[in-house]
């Protein structure tokens, strides 16, 4: 089995539009580029990845296009536009055109919006209409207080392809399981919603053992099943807690426990079916991927 990493980032600090990095741990305040991950991805047997925006600017999305044009392992880009812009439809059209097949979806950084109901606002309707018109996916970057608004939005957008980033970012560090678990269960009733099996390690409290993830992972498998879970590394944010190889090993162990016959779906096929990249992954004849 060869792997697809459905969620990773690259950034170049000197570009200057990664506002969140100003308050991030020092270890993240440097460049993270393809050369920094190449050996780890190759050793893991990752044949392709989906590159996800890390800055709230169209300029950064275009920068990611340029990286993808020089690195065939990047299957496509989840970019950013201002969902409240009066000309949002034209912006999305232009970005999709300029990406020439590389734009797979869009992700507003909803987790940072002060209004927990922002995603349900009617002012965003034009953006969601345009997403669907261009057959683009929607990456929902939210925290538990925003899950109800996401649910209201998705009940109106029945044909939208949407994936919940990092399992909705449960507050694992403080053990707030119920506040996350109930809305996740309700959201999972929407058949077109997928969920990224990613970003969980960095929600742990410092020094907490990885088995603190057990009830959260169990709930994800029970709610979404292996047909709608999509593995991602969230590298380099992942490096705050662990290595690329060890998160992959841990994620595989979780999947082996809950869905032993569906590893290829979780770690490869689901990502390709959801994002529909035009660029085919270069699956090598042999690599160090888990069986």
- Length of the chain measured in residues: 291
Residue 52 lies in a domain: yes
What is the pTM assigned to this prediction?
0.95
Residue 60 lies in a domain: yes
Residue 50 lies in a domain: yes
Q: Is the pLDDT of residue 287 over 70?
A: no
Residue 289 lies in a domain: no
Residue 280 lies in a domain: no
Pair 163, 197: CB distance under 8 Å: no
pLDDT digits (tens, 9 = 90+) for 221-274: 999 999 999 999 999 999 999 999 999 999 999 999 999 999 999 999 999 999
Please, what's the b/e burial string for 230-268 (b: 16 or more CB within 10 A of its CB; e: otherwise)? bbbbbbbbbbebbebeebbebbbebbeebbeebbebbbb
DSSP state of 147: H
pLDDT digits (tens, 9 = 90+) for 187-225: 999 999 999 999 999 999 999 999 999 999 999 999 999
Residue 121 lies in a domain: yes
What's the pLDDT at 291? 26
Residue 284 lies in a domain: no
Query: What is the domain range of residue 167?
Result: 8-275
What's the pLDDT at 284? 54
Token pair, residue 260, equals 């032993």
What's the pLDDT at 288? 34
**How far apart are the two ends of the chain, measured CA to CA in Å?**
5
Element (DSSP H or E) covering residue 196:
strand 193-197
Counting the structural domains of the chain, the total is 1
Residue 287 lies in a domain: no
What's the pLDDT at 1? 76
| 44: CATH | 3.20.20.140
């Amino acid at each position: 089995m060869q792997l697809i990493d459905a969620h990773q980032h690259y950034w170049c600090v000197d570009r200057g539009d990664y506002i969140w990095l100003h308050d991030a741990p020092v270890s993240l305040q440097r460049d993270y580029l393809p050369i920094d991950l190449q050996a780890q991805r190759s050793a893991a047997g990752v044949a392709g990845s989906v590159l996800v925006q890390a800055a709230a600017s169209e300029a950064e999305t275009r920068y990611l296009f340029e990286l993808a044009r020089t690195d065939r392992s990047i299957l496509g880009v989840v970019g950013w536009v201002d969902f409240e812009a009066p000309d949002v439809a034209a912006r999305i059209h232009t970005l999709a055109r300029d990406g020439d097949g590389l734009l797979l979806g869009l992700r507003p950084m909803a987790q940072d919006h002060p209004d927990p109901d922002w995603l349900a606002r009617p002012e965003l309707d034009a953006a969601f209409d345009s997403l669907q018109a261009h057959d683009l996916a929607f990456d929902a970057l939210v925290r538990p207080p925003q899950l109800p608004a996401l649910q209201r939005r998705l009940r109106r957008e029945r044909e939208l392809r949407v994936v919940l980033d990092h399992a909705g970012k449960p507050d694992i560090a403080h053990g707030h399981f119920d506040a996350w678990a109930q809305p996740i269960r309700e959201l999972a009733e929407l058949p077109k919603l997928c969920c990224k099996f990613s970003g969980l390690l960095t929600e742990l409290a410092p020094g907490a053992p990885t088995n603190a993830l057990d009830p959260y992972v169990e709930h994800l498998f029970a709610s979404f099943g292996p047909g709608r879970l999509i593995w991602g590394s969230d590298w380099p944010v992942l490096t705050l807690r662990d290595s690329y190889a060890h998160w992959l090993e841990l994620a595989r162990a979780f999947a082996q426990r809950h869905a032993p016959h569906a590893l290829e779906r979780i770690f490869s096929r689901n990502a390709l079916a959801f994002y529909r990249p035009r660029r085919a992954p270069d699956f090598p004849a042999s690599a160090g991927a888990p069986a």
